[in-house]
Chains A and B, each alone.
Chain A
Amino acid sequence: MKVEQRIWTEKGGWSPSAPGEAESLGSAAELVLVFGGRERLTDARLMGEVRAAYPSARLAGLSTAGEILGGEALEGSLAVTAVSFKSSEIRMEQVKIRGVGGSHEAGQALASSLGHDGLRHVLVFADGFCVDGAELARGMWENLPYGVSVTGGLAADGEEFEKGVVLLDGEAWGDRAVAVGFYGDIESGFGAGSGWVPFGLEREVTGVEGVILSEFGGRTPLEIYENYLGDEAARLPASASMFPLLILTDDDMGQTRSVVAVNREDGSVRLNGAIRRGARARLMLGGPERLAPAASEAAGRVAAALGGKSAELALAAFGLGRRMILKQRSELELEAVLGALGGAPLAGFYSLGEICPPRPGAPYSLMSQSASLTVLRED
């Protein structure tokens, strides 16, 4: 596997060099992962440059709430990672998500449309503003061969929280999910770290309809968030990411959910995945002393999943809340992750939700504000 990374920023243009200049994979690249601000992914000129530089490659990506490239965390940039494989192959499919209620069905259809012969791993990107991430992941898991895992993330929109897009070749789409299937002699490892600490009252979820949470602990979620955020409430819904929800039910020891939209009229919020009425919810808070170590610990576990062989490419889907809490220290977290991964090229994005089973062999899971990692290696 050969990997080449470059980044475009408004200030500095392309770095280290424009695609196509100097030494480049060029037409040898088969897959190009593109993570960037929504305005970058929909910038025809920029995307044209990327496509021209890698004429034979398939392009996949999503809009982010921040880009991760190596140890750097950026905003509003375009992070490009081009890959050429030794022998393994990829296939890409996309599906339209027909409303939040259609998430499960979309997941099933997407998984079915991928060929299952030789399939080893699936990467998925979905528009985070129109999907129930947990249901999408469940649908995919149901229709994939045993042992094939799905990892990925939900497209964000910086701190704007207006709309997300996913990228399929040259086109950026809303309301869609894109899957990349990896076939052949390719190995994957994955895992996620949290570091968030639940605090305060356990509140019963009294009003919820799918992903719309209208009441918990006898109050509207907006009221609770405004209270806890103080001045930061002006940055809602993005700032709600700093207080993700831990959802407890009698038969489930904790799912995490995060806010993707706020309804100021009735005080309800939209979550990145559905929860059940009668579940109990607690707010969680995070600090650098716990978030960063949790991420690097997860990275250590993920690296070990490849059985001592080093990863050739690492993909990161991190929750936006981590960046909002860590601020300048985000890069400390990324550097710790890089160190634990043993120097593999790292590409990734800050998202509205991370799809990643908590450990190999476990079924689907939607994580929120996690540090989830996928590593790939060809044999």
Chain B
Amino acid sequence: MSPVSHPLLLRQLRRHFGGPESFPEELKPFVEAVDKAYHDADSDRLMLERSLELSSQEFVIKSAELRRQIEERKKTEERLKEEKEKAEEASRLKDKFVSLVSHDIRTPFSSIMGLLRLLGSDTVHPLHEDQKALLEHVLRIGEGLVNMVDRLLDVSKLRTGKIKPKMRFVEAASVTAQVTGGLSHAASEKGIDLVDETPPGERLYTDPALFTEVIQNLVTNAIKFSNKGDRVTLYMPEGGAIAVRDTGLGIRKENIPRLFRHDEKTNSTGTAGELGAGLGLPFSMDIMKALGGTLKVESIPGDGSVFTATLSPVRPLILLVEDDELPRLILKESLESLDADVIEAEHGEEALAVLAETTPNLVVTDINMPNMNGFNLLKKIKESRDTRDIPVMVITSDDKIETREKAFRLGAADFCGKPPVIHDFLPRARRLLA
């Protein structure tokens, strides 16, 4: 038997030597080595190809696996997105529903309350004493219900975007005075000391009605959860914030996160058995969020609580009304040195258009302008409830005493000659911004 088995080598031996049999005996080990080398080369190649093929297959399987994972992830993401949209839609519908229902309840309920009051004030057929007591009881419960429905309406309006905060400047002390004025009776009835430490002259940039509602909620709660001899204090811990501190019951730490949630019911019965819907704090939180602020609470059970409503700090905004371009540029630049944003208008009409959109902290206006002069603008500003608190500074080259008097009579906060002397004008503008 031939020791050579590789077909190529066999063929080569046949072609060139007439076959392996005719190969000299002493060269046989050599031919065997060559034969082995041929086989080795083949098997090496086979192994290499096998490795290549297998590893390619593995890559194909791996990439299919990855593709499947990516598709699964995409599907999951889509599902999550759909679910989120559904949830949001459900929430919107719910708010809308609450709003509608509340409204439908409120209207007939107001009539019922009115009729009941009429019944009580009927002097022709006066009620018996015990009937009166009953009626008063019914009215009290009814008022509570009306308040709750109002609150629900407010919540849903705020959440459905029907209420948009109207931001303007308001004196902090006037907010707190309004609140303490309305609640001093309730406080003194419970024997609670209600103290307002808000300093005068501090201004807040907010929606006064909504912010007053928040402070009112906080003080109502403070009174509700305090006992005779306790004290409720309103103060400003920092600029742009009002805090309500009480020495009442305090809140357990684990209950604090639940206070501000609409879907959580915390204990809403006061120390004197006052009832509530538990909507006050969640609603206040909604308001503060809508105002771009925060509502925070610190409390020690047994020692009382401090609720702090903080408004977002704002860069003052100045509306500059002047028809001449060059003086307007100079004024704008000097006003901007007060760290304020400046909006420009060329005349009174344009200024009113701006005021309909935003509430600046200060209006600086010229008198002689086309399309509504400064006096008319001043008049309009002071006539509207939305803008009358904005200080107006009049600048004019007409420095006659009558002009000046007219400006002040119409409600201007300050008057300055034109061109203004910057080192005189800027401090006065700054004072009005503060």
Residues of A within 8 A of B (CB): 199-201, 227-230, 232, 242-243, 283, 285, 287, 325, 327-328
Q: Which residue of B is nearest A282, CB measured?
A: B55
Which 10 pairs across A and B sit closest by C-beta, in order of nearness? A200-B55, A327-B40, A201-B58, A230-B50, A328-B37, A285-B51, A228-B51, A199-B55, A227-B54, A228-B54
* Assembly CA distance A227 to B54 (angstroms): 8
Taking CB atoms, residues of chain B closer than 8 Å to A228 are 50-51, 54
Given that A228-B50, A327-B40 are contacting pairs, would A201 and B33 also be in contact in the complex, using a CB cutoff of 8 Å? Answer: no
- B36 close to A201 (CB less than 8 A): no
B62 within 8 A of A: yes
Q: Is the CB of A242 within 8 A of B47?
A: yes
Q: How far is the CB of A281 from chain B (nearest CB, A)?
A: 13
Most buried by A among B37, B58, B59: B58
In chain B, positions 257-308 with a C-beta closer than 8 Å to chain A are none
B33 near A230 with CB under 8 A, answer no
In this complex, what residue of A is CB-closest to B55? A200
B50 contacts A328, CB within 8 Å? Answer: no
Residues of B within 8 A of A283 (CB): 51, 55
CB atoms of B58 and A200 under 8 A apart: yes
Q: Are B55 and A328 in contact (CB under 8 A)?
A: no
The residues of A that contact B36 with a CB separation of less than 8 Å are 327-328
Report yes or no: A201 in contact with B62, Cβ–Cβ below 8 A.
Answer: yes
Taken residue by residue from 37 to 61, chain B's Cβ proximity to chain A (1 for < 8 Å, 0 otherwise) reads as: 1001000101110110011001100
Query: Which of B47, B48, B54, B62 contacts A232, CB < 8 Å?
Result: B47
Min CB distance B398 to A, Å, is 80
Q: Could you tell me the distance in whole angstroms from the C-beta of B19 to the nearest C-beta in chain A?
A: 24
Q: Could you list 12 further interchain pairs (A-B, Cβ under 8 angstroms) beyond the known A201-B58, A327-B37?
A: A199-B51, A199-B55, A200-B58, A200-B59, A201-B62, A228-B51, A230-B50, A232-B47, A283-B55, A287-B44, A287-B48, A328-B37
Do B51 and A201 touch (CB < 8 A)?
no
The docked-state distance in angstroms from the alpha carbon of A327 to that of B42 is: 13
Are B47 and A230 in contact, CB atoms less than 8 angstroms apart? yes
Q: Give the nearest-CB partner of B36 in chain A.
A: A328
- Nearest Cβ on chain B to A326's Cβ, whole angstroms: 9
Residue of B with least CB distance to A242: B47
Q: Give chain B interface residues in 149-185, CB to chain A under 8 Å.
A: none
Give Cα A377 to B111, complex, Å: 116
A287 to B44 Cα, complex, angstroms? 8
| Residues 338-373 (chain B) with a chain A CB within 8 angstroms | none
Closest to B45 in A: A287
Q: How many Å lie between the Cα of A136 and that of B50 in the bound state?
A: 36
